[in-house]
Amino acid sequence: MTASADGTARLWDGEGGLLTVLEGHTDWVLSAAFSPDGTRIVTASADGTARLWQTYPTIEATLAEAERKLRLVLTTVECAQYFAEFDPAFCVGWEE
């Protein structure tokens, strides 16, 4: 993992491939570290904030969490507007 002057932290795989960019700070990220159990990342920034980021063990787990968060903020109409073109069944039962 690297901390960066552009306000991001970047997570890399063992071969140097970029896995993800953690965005949200408004100034340099000064440090970044994994929790002892590997389920979270903490970043500290020159903007005076620290952020706690959740990690997920698989892409499936990441996508399930993203869907859970979308269901908290999007209405059925918004879901259809953004996702129906890609997967019409995705929004079925959205507000249940």
Q: What is the pLDDT of residue 4?
A: 94
User: Burial, 74: exposed, middle or buried (Cβ in 10 Å; 0-12, 13-18, 19+)?
Assistant: middle
Q: What is the pLDDT of residue 96?
A: 53
Q: What is the pLDDT of residue 42?
A: 95
Domains: count for the chain: 2
27/63 same-domain check: no
38/21 same-domain check: yes
Helices in 2-96 by DSSP H: which ranges? 59-73, 76-83
- pLDDT tens-place string over residues 3-47: 999 999 998 888 888 888 999 999 999 999 998 888 889 999 999
- Higher per-residue confidence, 58 vs 39: 39
Q: Which residues form the domain of 89?
A: 58-96
Place of tokens 């690297």: 2
Separation of first and last alpha carbons in the chain: 39
Q: What is the pLDDT of residue 38?
A: 82
- Rounded CA-CA distance 17/11 in Å is 9
Query: With 70 as the cut, is the pLDDT of residue 1 above it?
Result: yes
1/41 same-domain check: yes
Query: With 80 as the cut, is the pLDDT of residue 68 above it?
Result: yes
Containing H/E element for 33?
strand 29-34
29/64 same-domain check: no
- Rounded CA-CA distance 20/12 in Å is 7
